[in-house]
Amino acid sequence: MSGAVTAEGIGQPVRRKEDFRFITGNGHYTDDIARARQTWAYFLRSPHAHARIKSIDTSVAEAAPGVVAIFTGRHVADDGLGGLICGWTVTSKDGTPMKVGPHPILALDTVRYVGDHVAMVVAETLADARAAAELIDVDYEALPAAVALSTCQDEKTAQVHAEAPRNTCFEWELGNKAETEAAFAKADRVVKLDLTNNRLIPNAMEPRAAIGEYDKGSGIYTLHTTSQNPHVARLVLSAFVGVAPEHKLRVVAPDVGGGFGSKIFIYAEETACVWAAAKVGRPIKWTGDRSEAFLSDAHGRDHLSHAELALDKDGKFLGLRVKTVANLGAYLSTFSASVPTYLYGTLLSGQYDLPAIYVEVDGVYTHTAPVDAYRGAGRPEATYLVERIVETAARETGIDPAELRRRNYIRTFPHQTPVIMNYDAGDYEASLEAAMEAIDYKGFAARKSEAASRGKLRGIGMSSYIEACGLAPSAAVGSLGAGVGLWESAEVRVNPTGNIEVLTGSHSHGQGHETTFAQLVASRLGVPLDNVEIVHGDTDRVQFGMGTYGSRSGAVGMSAIVRALDKIEAKAKKIAAHLMEAAVEDIVFENGTFTVQGTDKSLAWAELSLAAYTAHGFPSADIEPGLKEGAFYDPTNFTFPAGCHICEVEIDPDTGITRIVKFVAVDDFGTVINPMIVEGQVHGGIAQGIGQALLEHGVYDPESGQLVTGSYMDYCMPRADDLPNFTLGFTKTVCPSNPLGMKGCGEAGAIASPPAIINAVTDALGIRDIEMPATPARVWEALQSAAPRAAAE
């Protein structure tokens, strides 16, 4: 790489550039935008989990005050619009492609979950639209629904899609079955565990919203929307749905209030708004309310698994076999098929040298909201399974949980697992030791007996996690079924006055890219941080990019910026050489100044920038005017953040309330650009993991398919008094596959923490398993029904 990246700025806890607008109320979220002559959309949603639409009569509603237009699935179909797509194809073990049911923008003749989109009312005000929607007469024939994951593949269960018998979308496998069977045949011990990974509802605090517009003069559509990846939205809406040609569609994702995966996907509402804007000739705005978010945002997790771990007499792991049923919901969301397969099965080796693994995953349809990526996406499910069964093995063999992990850690790199992944670097014992030190693991027994003297139950649990992040190598994901490449783009524009705009295909919705990306650029070019502006989220301003998810923006997005900066520096040196009448090889660029080696000739960054644009006397054959370079960066491997989280809980046996007394996270993220922001990412991830382990559960009534947890009154979001302070630590092995050595930090907390917590809760209770979320009711019931291990001993 020409011109090494300096350490200046990198590694510093720089306060965020974006904060000023947010703390003063000057952010611009989609719902904050108002367009002249804008109308409002409201979506009439299905009250049934499964029903046939016999007829829809909109005549009364159309005459209601303020109504501009009403659209149903018939209008959409007549206009020749395609349905929503899943961008990842999974192949079943018999070689057949996954069975895809249609996913219409607005339901045509069948509704498949409570909240499914039946009609869009466009009116002068939201109140008018909402009132008119109630006047639409839909004649439904209610049908039995497939709701429970455990029975949805039964012959007699209702079918979600005719294309998928037994509601089975795919029966996928990974690993080596014969080798795994052989490993089990020679095992001294087999540990078995049935696990539920509870359904979660993402709940970014900003509900989804959209404003669709159409300019008749130019034929250009504009969609402002709450998206993590506006270019991908534009691509899907143009190439697959057919709203408008790609060059006639602008998608803007302004300030976005959290995503956690749920805003990756292309949904019916924004699609309908931008499509219908041309029909009504006015802008159409839709802002989801929280109830709609609960019903129709893609949910996360929702697995039932059976796992078996084979060990030899010394506790060395010989093999792992897993059978999982994964809920996909009623329709395949944008990336849903990849989550319980390639983002899950590939991580089942954990941090361990596991010679044989075989996993089977059935992806199944149910009459519930679509399920797709939610913070961690597949990797939390894999980590939960591995770390729960390893903990169970430790208890059954009587080997200390830390010791059992130590005996099985991978210690040499690169390490090829039996499930595709090639781990490039790591030191798992280092994070384990640091975490044990931080939580005073040795002192636990004393704390446990002290708690017992107060009538409380103490437990400790750990989780040694690994994740595959920096979702990238295009060749790798392409070979696994992805319909897209997963590189990232960047463009660095140096203005004549020397300040810099960086256009990135990544999208920030809380991650602080405006600061970290600027730190990288400022330190490399030797300019003040304030002279660097990070531009993202607008397909008219930024070149095609893949967006932000899978902890990829640092490892992939920033690497693209590094590549563009390499080109900027190369060209700038050429200009400097010309201006100072020296050879390019003699130009040294340091701290924002170009000098000719061995002379006192120098040129400041601002002088060079201006000269690049005045271009007086440039040899036109050799040097073009201007200073602007772009890069598309595609890494050679995934990145592998890893670490160890340890949780200590205290349970009140009278109430079943679990209190987290200490939570320690030690993570290896490789190079860290801004530790303050990275710590914040870990905090938020752990909070979501604690939510999954103790509080949150998306529940449908198993008969009616009604969402029982449809508001903050029923769905238990983690609040400040549910959570402890977190103790964080970092270890570092540099990632060899990208120029900065970064691994990614966005999902680690949500991936690592649930098994640590449940290992601690089951340790405290002296039981084998408890289903997440371990609510006070479940803990209390467990205490009543199980003879606590401590009492039995």
- Note the residues at the interface with another protein (CB under 8 A): 15-16, 18-29, 31-32, 34, 127, 203-207, 255-258, 260, 287, 289-291, 509-512, 676-677, 679-680, 683-688, 711-713, 717-721, 723, 725-726, 749
Tally the residues of the chain.
793
CB 17, min distance to another protein, A: 10
Which residue's CB is nearer to another protein, number 394 or number 757?
A: 757
Residue (269 or 362) nearer to another protein, CB? 269
Q: How far is the CB of 257 from another protein (least distance, A)?
A: 3
Nearer to another protein, 179 or 652 (CB): 652
Compare residues 25 and 619 and give the one whose CB is closer to another protein. 25
Contact between 649 and 761 under an 8 Å Cβ cutoff? The reply is: yes
Helix (H) or strand (E) holding 646: strand 642-652
Closest CA to 205 of 674, 753, 688, 677: 688
CB closer to another protein out of 130 and 316: 130
Rounded to the nearest whole angstrom, what is the least distance from the CB of residue 474 to another protein in the complex? 29
CB of 658 to another protein, least distance (A): 16
For another protein, the closer of residues 683 and 732 by Cβ is 683
The residue behind tokens 């400041």 is 604
Residues 6+ apart with CB under 8 A from 449: none
Instruction: Report the residue number, 34 or 621, with the smaller CB distance to another protein.
Output: 34
CA angle 472, 473, 478 (to 5 degrees): 100
Q: What separation, in Å, do the N-terminal and C-terminal C-alpha atoms of the chain show?
A: 62
Nearer to another protein, 19 or 109 (CB): 19
By three-state DSSP, how is residue 244 classified? Answer: coil
The packing angle between helices 401-408 and 428-439, to 10°, is 170
Spatial neighbors of 86 by CB under 8 A, at least 6 apart, are 100, 103, 332, 333, 334, 335, 336, 337
Q: For the chain, how are helix, strand and coil distributed in percent, rounded to 5?
A: 30, 25, 45
Rounded least distance, CB 204 to another protein, Å:
6
From the CB of 496, what's the least distance to another protein, in Å? 32
- The answer to whether 393 and 311 are in contact (CB under 8 A) is yes
Residue 548 CB, nearest distance to another protein (Å)? 12
The Cα–Cα gap between 427 and 319 comes to 22
Question: What is residue 725's DSSP assignment?
Answer: -
DSSP 8-state symbol, 47: S
- Cα dihedral across residues 553, 559, 565, 567: positive or negative: negative
Residue 54 C-beta: closest distance to another protein, Å: 31
Dihedral pair phi/psi, residue 563, rounded to 5°? -60, -40
Question: Which residue, among 209, 290, 257, has the nearest Cα to 34 in the 3D structure?
Answer: 209
Q: d(Cα 757, Cα 380) in Å, to the nearest integer?
A: 13
In degrees and rounded to multiples of 5, residue 760 shows phi and psi of -70, -40
Angle subtended at Cα 726 by Cα 378 and Cα 732, rounded to the nearest 5 degrees: 65
**Cβ 728 to another protein, closest distance in Å?**
9
CA–CA distance from 696 to each of 202, 344, 710 (Å)? 10, 21, 12
Q: Compare residues 19 and 590 and give the one whose CB is closer to another protein.
A: 19
To another protein, the closest distance from the beta carbon of 490 in angstroms equals: 23
The nearer residue to another protein, 234 or 509, going by C-beta atoms, is 509
Burial 117-141 (b: 16+ CB within 10 A, else e): bbbbbbbbebebbbbbbebbebebe
Question: What is the nearest approach in angstroms of another protein to the Cβ of residue 256?
Answer: 7
In this complex, which beta carbon is closest to another protein, that of residue 33 or of residue 484? 33
Q: Which residues pair with 335 in a beta bridge?
A: none
Tokens 């395609």 locate to 82
CB of 519 to another protein, least distance (A): 14
* Closer residue to another protein (CB): 525 or 678: 678
For the bound state, the minimum distance from the C-beta of residue 532 to another protein, rounded and expressed in Å, comes to 19
The DSSP letter of residue 232 is H
Helix (H) or strand (E) holding 588: strand 587-590
C-alpha separations of 358 from 11, 147, 512, 675 in Å: 41, 28, 39, 38
Closest approach, Cβ 292 to another protein, in A, equals 9
Nearer to another protein, 269 or 491 (CB): 269
Q: 2 near 570, Cβ under 8 Å?
A: yes
Quick one: 107 exposed, middle or buried, by C-beta within 10 A (0-12, 13-18, 19+)? buried
Q: Are the beta carbons of 733 and 365 closer than 8 angstroms?
A: no
- Measured CA to CA, the distance from residue 768 to residue 389 in angstroms comes to 10
Q: How far apart are CB 254 and another protein at their closest, in Å?
A: 12
| Nearer to another protein among residue 383 and residue 515 (C-beta) | 515
Query: Which of 615/708 has CB closer to another protein?
Result: 708
Q: How far is the CB of 78 from another protein (least distance, A)?
A: 34
163: region left, alpha or beta (phi > 0 left; psi from -120 to 50 alpha): alpha
Q: What are the strands, taking DSSP E only, across 201-239? A: 209-215, 220-225
**Closer residue to another protein, CB minimum distance, 82 or 288:** 288
Least distance CB 22 / another protein (angstroms): 3
Vertex 717, ends 660 and 30: CA angle to 5°?
135
Nearer to another protein, 83 or 512 (CB): 512
